[in-house]
């Protein structure tokens, strides 16, 4: 069993592309399954040092992204081989089937297709924030897993605004998913990825490409001069999804939506959750400045342990408040005893508390004369109740 870097064992090959192949591997140090991408034997010895640089650039582009819809990169290295070094990338092992395998069996349910494209758009939003353009979005580079879609293969990714190394060389990518401006020598931009995403969404909804042609050259000409074919009628598809699809396929790069807007709109259409980078949001135009107190409170260090806080004791110089001497408590006149009652004061009678004389005279509202209760009635009459006033 072949081992790379004295650590990664190659178990079996699980994928093969034009320039590379992917193996299921085993990390002997961390004891976990991984995916190992190495150059295909047909091109392994033809690129020389340029091949090492190409694989290293792919590893760095993908390693900058930490997103649930992007296959993570664990390591990069070179393995000595007779006469040359073989570069390799160690990645997260993604279990599932590619979107191309699913589409080969027929169109997807539109809800599944919209959700997959929403997650791909979220992955592109994370890449664009890091100034990385994928340049090869297509069904074969999207893996469907139980946890969602995963974008693979940043092999021809480029920095935003980067031109092709050789302007006379063929345009890198898959012709059906290459934006028209790329054939005019325009640099890599996020809008080119959005054209590919629009083609992917159209393919998921209809099961075919937006343009029909027998050759790659005819397909490129159709993209430049003809409008995409209308989508078939699909019950339940929101009109905003259809509008978004054709907006992504617009020949004008400036008319295409951003990846973040596309991800949010598609996710809302199917009530799905996507993760988009917050760094792409514009700041508020009128953000209030923090006060000096808030800045000090936000930057103050937090101690690991706080001493026990004793309960505060009453200050010796502070006396407990007493009733204000100027305010006299109301006195309630005793009601006359009913026949047969004793002369014990009624419980409602509150004696006036004695207090020190005050310079402020208390004002008393004259009380109404008590009214004798009818014989046998122990409840004060209305006149008696109204006549009891508080003193101010």
Q: Produce one character per residue of 34-63: b if its CB has 16 or more CB atoms within 10 Å, e if not.
A: bbbbbbeeeebeebeeebbebbebbbebbb
**pLDDT recorded at residue 351:** 53
Residues of the chain with CATH 3.30.200.20: 1-93
Which tokens in the block code for residue 387? 């006549």
Which residues are known to be catalytic?
136
Which tokens in the block code for residue 384? 């008696």
Residues of the chain with CATH 1.10.510.10: 95-162+171-280
CB 338 within 8 A of CB 375: yes
d(CA 258, CA 248): 9
95-162+171-280 has which CATH code?
1.10.510.10
Provide the CA 338 distance to its chain's centre, in angstroms. Answer: 81
Which tokens in the block code for residue 139? 């069904």
Pick the CATH number of 1-93 from 3.40.50.40, 3.30.200.20, 3.40.50.300, 3.40.50.1950: 3.30.200.20
d(CA 67, CA 387): 80
CB 387 within 8 A of CB 370: yes
Taking the complete model, does pTM exceed 0.85, yes or no? no
**pLDDT recorded at residue 217:** 87
pLDDT along the chain (392 residues), means of 10: 87 83 92 89 63 80 87 87 80 91 90 96 94 92 93 85 73 87 88 96 94 87 89 91 95 94 96 82 60 76 60 57 54 53 50 50 51 51 46 44
């Amino acid at each position: 069993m072949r081992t790379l870097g004295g650590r990664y064992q190659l178990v079996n090959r699980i994928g093969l592309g034009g320039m590379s192949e992917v193996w299921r591997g085993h990390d002997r140090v961390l004891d976990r399954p991984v995916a190992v991408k190495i150059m295909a034997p047909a091109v392994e010895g033809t690129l020389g040092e340029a091949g090492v640089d190409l694989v290293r650039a792919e590893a760095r582009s993908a390693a900058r992204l930490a997103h649930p819809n992007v296959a993570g990169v664990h390591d990069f290295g070179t393995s000595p081989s007779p006469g040359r070094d073989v570069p390799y990338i160690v990645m997260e092992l993604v279990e599932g089937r590619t979107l191309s395998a699913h589409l080969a069996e027929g169109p997807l349910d539109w809800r599944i297709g919209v959700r997959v494209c929403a997650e791909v758009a979220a992955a592109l939003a994370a890449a664009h924030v890091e100034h990385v353009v994928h340049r090869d979005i297509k069904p074969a580079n999207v893996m469907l897993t139980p946890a969602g879609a995963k974008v693979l293969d940043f092999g021809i990714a480029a920095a935003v605004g980067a031109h092709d190394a050789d302007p006379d060389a063929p345009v890198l990518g898959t012709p059906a998913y290459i934006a028209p401006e790329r054939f005019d020598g325009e640099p890599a931009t996020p809008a080119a990825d959005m054209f590919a995403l629009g083609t992917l969404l159209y393919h998921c909804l209809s099961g075919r490409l937006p343009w029909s042609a027998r050759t790659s050259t005819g397909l490129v000409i159709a993209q430049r001069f003809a409008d995409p074919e209308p989508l078939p009628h699909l019950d339940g598809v929101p009109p905003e999804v259809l509008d978004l699809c054709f907006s992504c396929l617009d020949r004008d790069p400036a008319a295409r939506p951003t990846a973040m807007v596309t991800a949010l709109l598609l996710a809302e259409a199917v009530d799905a959750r996507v993760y988009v980078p917050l760094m792409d949001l514009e700041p508020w135009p009128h953000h209030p400045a923090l006060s000096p107190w808030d800045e000090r409170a936000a930057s103050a260090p937090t101690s690991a342990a706080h001493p026990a806080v004793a309960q505060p004791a009453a200050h010796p110089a502070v006396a407990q408040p007493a009733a204000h001497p100027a305010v006299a408590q109301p006195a309630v006149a005793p009601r006359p005893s009913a026949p047969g009652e004793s002369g014990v004061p009624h419980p409602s009678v509150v004696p006036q508390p004695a207090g020190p004389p005050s310079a402020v005279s208390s004002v008393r509202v004259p009380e109404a004369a008590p009214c004798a209760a009818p014989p046998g009635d122990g409840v004060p009459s209305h006149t008696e109740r109204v006549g009891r006033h508080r003193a101010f």
